[in-house]
Amino acid sequence: MEIKIDRDKLFRSVSRVQSIIEKRSNMPILSTILLTTSGTEVNISATDLELGFQQVVEAEIIKEGSITISGRKLFEILKESRNPNIHIKEKENNWVFISDNIARFELACLPADEYPAFVEPEGVEMVEIDGETLMEMINKTIYSVTIEDAGFKLSGVFTERVTQEGKSFLRMVATDGHRLSMIDKAVPDIDSLDLERGVMIPKKGMSELNKLASEKGPIQIGFKKKNCIAKKENALLVMRLLEAKFPDYHAVIPQEQKKLIGVNRISLLEAMRKMLILSNERYKAVKISLEDNTMELISTNPDLGEAQENIKVKYSGERLEAGFNPKYFIETLTSMESEVVSLGFIDNSKPCILEGEADEGFLGLIMPMRV
- H or E stretch at 88: strand 85-91
- Nearest Cα to 263, choosing from 295, 297, 307? 295
End position of a domain, from candidates 250, 276, 301: 250
- If asked whether residues 261 and 243 sit together in one domain, one would say no
Domain-located, residue 119:
no
List pLDDT tens digits, range 111-133. 999 999 877 888 899 999 999 99
Domain-located, residue 170:
yes
- If asked whether residues 148 and 235 sit together in one domain, one would say yes
- If asked whether residues 292 and 354 sit together in one domain, one would say yes
Domain-located, residue 120:
no
- If asked whether residues 262 and 218 sit together in one domain, one would say no
- If asked whether residues 40 and 82 sit together in one domain, one would say yes
Domain-located, residue 320:
yes
Q: Which of 138-152, 184-198, 292-306 has the lowest mean pLDDT?
A: 138-152
- Return the sign of the alpha-carbon dihedral for residues 306, 310, 314, 319: positive
End position of a domain, from candidates 250, 276, 311: 250
> Which one-letter DSSP state was computed for residue 72?
H
User: How many domains in the chain?
Assistant: 3
Q: Is residue 150 predicted with pLDDT exceeding 60?
A: no
- If asked whether residues 45 and 138 sit together in one domain, one would say no
**CA-to-CA separations, 16 to 4, 136, 268, 276, in angstroms, rounded:** 20, 20, 35, 33
3-class DSSP state for residue 205?
helix
3-class DSSP state for residue 45?
strand
Instruction: Give the span between the Cα atoms of 109 and 251, in whole angstroms.
Output: 53
Residue 42: give the domain boundaries: 2-114
Domain-located, residue 185:
yes
End position of a domain, from candidates 225, 250, 275: 250
- If asked whether residues 239 and 131 sit together in one domain, one would say yes
Q: Is residue 155 predicted with pLDDT exceeding 90?
A: no
- If asked whether residues 267 and 182 sit together in one domain, one would say no
Domain-located, residue 51:
yes
Domain-located, residue 371:
no
Domain-located, residue 121:
no
Q: Is residue 151 predicted with pLDDT exceeding 70?
A: no
Q: Identity (one letter) of the amino acid at 220?
A: Q
Mean pLDDT for the stretch of residues 58-79: 96
Q: What is the mean pLDDT of the chain?
A: 93
pLDDT of residue 40: 94
- If asked whether residues 245 and 131 sit together in one domain, one would say yes
Instruction: Give the DSSP letter string of 213-244.
Output: HTT-SEEEEEEETTEEEEEETTEEEEEEPB-P
> Which one-letter DSSP state was computed for residue 31?
G
- If asked whether residues 152 and 234 sit together in one domain, one would say yes
- If asked whether residues 227 and 266 sit together in one domain, one would say no
- If asked whether residues 79 and 190 sit together in one domain, one would say no
CATH of residue 86's domain is 3.10.150.10
pLDDT of residue 152: 64
pLDDT of residue 370: 81
Determine contact, residues 354/363, Cβ cutoff 8 Å: yes
The angle that helices 71-80 and 7-16 make with each other, rounded to 10 degrees, is 140
What's this model's pTM, rounded to 2 decimal places?
0.92
Determine contact, residues 46/53, Cβ cutoff 8 Å: yes
